[in-house]
Amino acid sequence: MSETDGYAPAVLSPAVENLVTQLTKLPGIGRRTAQRLTFHLLTARPEDALELSRAIEEVKSRVRFCTVCGNLTEEELCPICADERRDRSVICVVEQPVDVVSLERTHEYRGLYHVLGGALSPLDGVEPGDLRIAGLLARLDDDSVQEVVLATNPTMTGEATAAYLADRLRGRVTVTRLASGLPVGGDLEYADEVTLGRALAGRREM
C-alpha cells in the first residue's frame, strides 16, 4: 500500500492483467497458475506464442459437433460414427466429448456414442430440452440399436440424468448403466483405464 494515497500500485499492465483474467476462465486454472502461464508466454519466442494463438483460432473455426452423436469433429460425421467397423447395436451415452476420449482409452468398447452436452440440473437451469436427448431418441428409430449404455458421471446430476433417460428408454431397448468401480462424485475424465474398463465390462441393466 502506498503511504500517501492508501492504494496499492498496479503491478501488472492492463494487457497482462487481461490475459491473466482470461486464463482464469479455463477449468482448473487459478490466478497463480494463470500468472505463471502468462509470464511463460511473455518470455517465450514470439513465434511460439503466435502458434498457440493460431491453434486456438483454428480449433474454434474448424471443429464442430457431429450431426449424429454430438462428438467433436472437423467433418459432418465424427470418425467413430463414420467407422463401419463399430458395433451399431450399442450406443453409449456420455455427458461431454472428453468422456468419449476416456472410454476409448479402455479399448473395451466398440459401439457408438451419444454426447448429451451436459447433465440435467434444474437448479442451474439445465432442462431436458437443453441436452441432446431428442437426438438420442430419434436414433432409436433405427431397429439395429439394441442396447443403450448410460455412462453419465457418477455425480448427483449424472445419476439424475441416467434415471431420467432410463425412464424414457425402458421398453424400447435394453438400458444398462456402468458398473461399480467408478467413485461416486468423480468424473470419467479422471478415471484410469483399468477402472473404466471394469465398469464397462460389468455394466448392469436399469
144-181 pLDDT per residue, tens: 999 999 999 988 899 999 999 999 999 999 999 987 66
Q: What is the pTM (predicted TM-score) of this model?
A: 0.79
pLDDT of residue 18: 94
Q: Which three cell numbers stand for residue 70?
A: 454430438
The average confidence (pLDDT) of the chain is 89
Average pLDDT over residues 123-129: 92
Average pLDDT over residues 176-187: 75
Q: What three-state secondary structure class fits 91?
A: strand
Q: Is residue 34 over pLDDT 90?
A: yes
> Which residues 6+ apart lie within 8 Å of 165 measured at CB?
93, 133, 136, 148, 150, 152, 175
The C-alpha atoms of residue 154 and residue 138 are separated, in whole angstroms, by 25
Query: First-to-last CA distance in the chain?
Result: 61
The answer to whether 135 and 115 have CB atoms below 8 angstroms apart is: no
pLDDT of residue 180: 62
pLDDT of residue 166: 96
pLDDT of residue 196: 83
The C-alpha atoms of residue 79 and residue 119 are separated, in whole angstroms, by 24
Name the CA dihedral angle for 186, 128, 164, 166, rounded to a multiple of 10 degrees: -100
Higher pLDDT, 111 or 11: 111
